[in-house]
Chain A
Amino acid sequence: MVIENCKQELRDAIGTEKVRDDNVCMTTYAMDAAPIFRKPDLVVLPESAEDVRKVLPIANKYRLAVTVMATGINVVGLTVPSEHGMVLDMRRMNKIIEINTDSGYATIEPGVTFEQFTNALRKVGFRCQVCTTHPSASVAANYMMGPSGTFCTRHLDPMIDLEVVFPDGSITNTGSAHFPGSGPHRRYGSGPDVTGLFALGHGTMGIVTKSSVRIYPKTEGNALPMATFPSFEASIRFSQDVVLNNIAEHVIVYSWRMWLDAYAKGSTTFKEPPKGMPYNAVTMRLAGYPATVEANLKIIGEVAQKHGGTLHSEEEAANMMLYYRDFQQWYFDSKTLQITPARLEQLSSAARPGIEIDEMGLYIAWVVNATPKDVIECEKWAMQKIEDIGLGVPAYYSQPYDFGRSWFLRIFIYPDALDPAVMQKVAATFTGMFDEALARYHATPYRARGFGAVPWLHGTGEFRNYVKKLKAAVDPNNILNPMMLGQ
């Protein structure tokens, strides 16, 4: 009866069509790609910040758990609602409010997708951080997850200013826009950096209704050189050099298993690349005036040689790396990476060793961040550990954050997602590996762990208590994604 009263109040407040409770709808929102099933009691589809301001106080009054989501891929259980809770699906708030090419920011609603955003930016000669996600993913939701992407070497996250609604219906901006009329051009206003409170907060601290994000002009000079190296250590040291000397805007290191498909054909172990094949490939995005790019290309060849590597021509790179041409579009034109049927055909014909393309299951990744020295050691250890699970051959990519202070390492496999025993095995192994990597290599975990089996902020000591106090201040009834901090 209580929930029925709540639904009625919501319908009266924002309209019947935006409040759903039918069985089919509840079932589809009960899952993401992770093996968790928790059925909500209702799904709400707001169309404006004003709708959100009406919804949250009602949810707060009825102490209804609210899990927020937007468009696109969801894989690790973060958008699986609380049992009998509410899903706040933000996809209908999909307007690009402003693109400010003078300052270099854009203000968008949570339902704006990468496809929408990058196309709009292209029309005005701009680009944005593009992450390894689908074109249909929400830009704001992705940026809120502290993703790896085409500008993470320069910036920890692309957020400048957020508009946030709290459970009592109050609303504020977190950056310079909290001064009325000033606009969202600066992450900081006159107080603490509150924007950071919501990044990686997974909807626990407030509901973001607008995001102002960094955008960048397209440059006249562009290049995507690729160098190959005999070891992960050489790749990391080379990358540090080109990043710290301001030669490359962004760098990615790929395991040979992942991208050098043409070379990898025929090999059956991950430790030993086929004869003549390098261990890693490193792509670097160069941008600026054409003369600067040309000069930097020459320097890169010398630096690669210093680290025992080889710089390849564009044609060589395209032959060695299946997605090289797609990466060029990704970097130069902010075109989201997407496997097309034609690419799939190519991938199938270049079958990766140890992975039957037809039998690949769900993409599941283990992700940590560590210093350059630690990530070098962590790679060897983690690849062996994941291979030992016996669920396929792992591959990885790695990239520097914040000018190489911290390195992101994502290792992945493709297990059968519908076999609970397999998924439990993966979850248990990955969870144990986080603890061990922390102890051995000071490597910090990324986002949630163990598909919800491990409490958020597990192992963070007093930090977790502090976050709980902050949450209690903004959300005293603990309605915002309460599963994250435990009931």
Chain B
Amino acid sequence: MDLNIQLKDIFRSIAMCDKCGVCTFVTKDNTPRTVCPMYEYDKSFVFQPNGLMFTARALLQGTEEYDRSVAEFVFSCADCRACDAKCVPVPYPKPHVHPTEIIKIMRRDAIDKGLIPKGPMEAMAKAVNEDGDLLSKAAPGMPEGVVSEKADTVLYAECFHSPAQVGIYESAGRLLQKMGKQVSLFSDGGCCGSSLYDFGFWNKLPKLVQSKWEKMEKNTDKTFLFINPHCQEFVAKQYSDIVPGFKGVKMEHFSEFLADALKEGTLKAKKTDRVEVAYHDPCALGRGLGIYDAPREVLAGLSGVDLKEMNGNKDASFCCGSRALGKYHPEFSKETAKRGIERFNETGADILITACPYCKQAFQGALPDQDKNKVMDLIEFVEVRTA
């Protein structure tokens, strides 16, 4: 999306929202079920995509002023994009923006006005404004023999501001070592740009993304391998709008890489105890990148693993809540993760697998300490189930 876009540029899209509410549910097996986590939490007109679209309309018409309460509200959407997959009228007119993109424009406006929601957003704003990036500790080291500058694959190792990413990354390293697969590393010790984009720090993006691209550009003949689907989606969808002359890069998600490795036999399943697992489709990987099959192929390629599909999977996956940082409903994020756990419990499976560090962190946070190991990233799970 053009970083300079204004609400007035998309007034037709905003006007197309007529409160229909189709964006909030999906129907499977003759049973409608709420897919919008906001509406699931608070069944009202306000706390759902329609409410946010009508807030945009009020701001545009001047019947509402931007203030802190509005900012808390627009940052309370979990950005799961379930509404984007359902809504037809809003993206109908040019330039075809989806509801969550309109929400991101409102977030950008809030940040530009200095209206920072309380809590994690304040810390993020402080860090971003000081460094121009969301810096974190550098990527952990890879096992011996894995890193080679001559490798045809680049492991994209950014966004370690999510603590869960560290463990997943370490597992990925050990899997690469098992396979004898060499990679070079792309690691800047910061954010790929997706969090700055999602949370409104658009004024920092041109410089940050340009700087990343200058380093990535040297490897455009190689395949970039992503662990965090938010990073991959951001590079795939936003770099071209931010970087003049962006040429694109070959990209692969780690789940796709593992699926191929199991099929080709470069990674071998280990015979071990039977286990029932449920797979949570992360928003960025599923609705964002359209990758639904690869993680399931990976699970099918392991020995003794039975996949129990959750009620609300693939494009109807229910959000983990982790990307809701506003405090319109202070407990919304945590409660949404708990509802995800409830859906997992309905399956009767032993382990909840996901493929995104934010989802893993959110679901683990919704469980007591003794049960946190019931949530694993796909990469971690594959590591223990392969020889």
Contacts and interface: CB of A to CB of B under 8 A. Distances in A.
Interface of A: 20, 22-25, 27-33, 37, 43, 45, 69, 71-75, 89, 91-92, 113, 115-116, 119-120, 122-123, 134-137, 338-341, 344, 357-363, 416-418
Given A72-B20, A361-B16, 7 more contacts: A23-B70, A33-B15, A89-B44, A119-B32, A137-B20, A339-B88, A359-B93
Contact of A28 (B22, B43, B51): B51
Nearest to A415: B15
Nearest to B60: A418
Given A27-B55, A344-B88, A360 B93 contact: yes
B73 interface: yes
B19 A418 contact: no
Contacts of A24: 46, 51, 55, 69-70, 73, 328
Contacts of B67: 23
Nearest to A340: B88
8 contacts: A28-B55, A31-B63, A91-B43, A91-B44, A137-B20, A344-B92, A360-B93, A361-B16
B15 A361 contact: yes
Contacts of B22: 134-136, 338
Interface in B17-76: 17-22, 24-25, 27, 30-32, 43-46, 50-51, 54-55, 57-58, 60-61, 63-64, 67, 69-70, 73
A113 B19 CA distance: 13
A341 B83 CA distance: 13
Contacts of A137: 20
Contacts of B92: 344, 357-358, 360
A362 B14 CA distance: 10
Nearest to A114: B32
B45 A136 contact: no
A27 B63 contact: yes
Contact of A416 (B15, B43, B58, B328): B15
Nearest to B52: A28
Contacts of A122: 30
Contacts of A69: 45
The 10 closest A-B pairs by CB, nearest first: A136-B21, A33-B18, A134-B20, A417-B15, A119-B30, A28-B51, A25-B46, A358-B94, A115-B32, A28-B46
Interface of B: 11-12, 14-22, 24-25, 27, 30-32, 43-46, 50-51, 54-55, 57-58, 60-61, 63-64, 67, 69-70, 73, 88, 92-94, 328
B18 A74 contact: yes
B69 A23 contact: yes
A363 B92 CA distance: 13
B15 A30 contact: no
Contacts of A92: 43
A24 B54 CA distance: 10
A479 to B, nearest CB: 21
In the complex, which of the residues A27, A30, A362, A418 has the most CB atoms of chain B within 10 Å of its own CB atom? A27
Nearest to B47: A25
A271 to B, nearest CB: 27
Contacts, number: 127
B24 to A, nearest CB: 7
Nearest to A363: B18
Contacts of A32: 18-19
B21 A361 contact: no
Contact of A359 (B61, B64, B70, B94): B94
Contacts of B328: 24
A357 B22 CA distance: 21
Contact of A30 (B11, B17, B63): B63
B382 to A, nearest CB: 34
Given A24-B46, A29-B45, A136 B88 contact: no
A37 B45 contact: no
B93 A116 contact: no
A28 to B, nearest CB: 4
B31 A119 contact: yes
A32 B46 CA distance: 12
Contacts of B14: 418
Contacts of B57: 31, 418
A89 B45 contact: yes
A23 B11 CA distance: 22
Nearest to B53: A28
A418 B54 CA distance: 12
B44 A43 contact: yes
B232 to A, nearest CB: 23
Nearest to B23: A136
Given A27-B55, A27-B64, A136 B44 contact: no
A417 B21 CA distance: 19
A31 B62 CA distance: 13
B15 A136 contact: no
Contacts of A136: 20-22, 24-25
A118 to B, nearest CB: 9
Contacts of A363: 18
Given A359-B93, A360-B92, A418-B60, A27 B54 contact: yes
A418 B11 contact: yes
Nearest to A341: B88
B306 to A, nearest CB: 29
Contacts of A123: 30
B13 to A, nearest CB: 10
Contacts of B94: 358-359
A355 to B, nearest CB: 12
A29 B70 CA distance: 14
Contact of A115 (B19, B25, B44, B45): B25
